[in-house]
Amino acid sequence: MVDEVKFSLIGIDSLLGKLATVNDEVKRKTGRTALRRAAEMVAKNFKEGARRWDDPDTGRSIADNIVLRWNGRLFRRTGDLGFRVGVLHGAVLVKNGSTEKSAPTPHWRLLEFGTEHIAADPVARPALEDHIGEVTNEFATQFVKGLDRAIRRAEKARSS
């Protein structure tokens, strides 16, 4: 079931040069900000795809339950930056569940992965796969902007 998503980055030599001039704290802060911006694009694409699943006759909205969260566990264990894009609430619906707008929507898994009776209609994975170039460019652009800002700030502090 595990599939790989592979891509390569070309033309980031200037970025690598700037990375060498800043400390790890600046790298982490600018990286986290840039990664959040890129992950927001993935979440937006996920929400757009999930809107076609939502039934207007019920109050529940899968798209409204899609969230972006910082992956602190990954950072603490490995030092890698990461955000998770997913659907809120647990996998099991409580008996007589609410039909309010922000109510749990565990049925999204059935639609995403399919069952023996219905075919899978994935939205989460294509939210990244179909827009990988845009997301990567957004990350790189935001990261370079953040590094430039940090370098200017450091030079200004040194000169005064």
Q: How many domains does the chain have?
A: 1
Give the model's pLDDT for residue 34.
95
Answer whether residue 57 is part of any domain: yes
Among the ranges given (33-42, 94-103, 144-153), the one the predictor scored with the smallest mean pLDDT: 94-103
Strand partners, 85: 68
Answer whether residue 12 is part of any domain: no
Answer whether residue 20 is part of any domain: no
Q: What is the pTM of this model?
A: 0.82
Answer whether residue 115 is part of any domain: yes
Q: How many CA atoms lie within 13 A of 11 on its CB side?
A: 4
Cα 89 to Cα 80: distance, rounded to the nearest angstrom: 26
Answer whether residue 26 is part of any domain: no
Answer whether residue 66 is part of any domain: yes
Answer whether residue 151 is part of any domain: yes
Domain range holding 143? 33-91+99-159
- pLDDT-derived band at 35, boundaries 50, 70, 90: very high
Element housing 24 (H / E): helix 24-51
Provide, rounded to the nearest whole percent, the portion of the chain with pLDDT above 90: 42
Give the model's pLDDT for residue 4.
63
Answer whether residue 130 is part of any domain: yes
First-to-last alpha carbon distance for the chain, in angstroms, is 57
- pLDDT-derived band at 66, boundaries 50, 70, 90: very high
Give the model's pLDDT for residue 53.
84
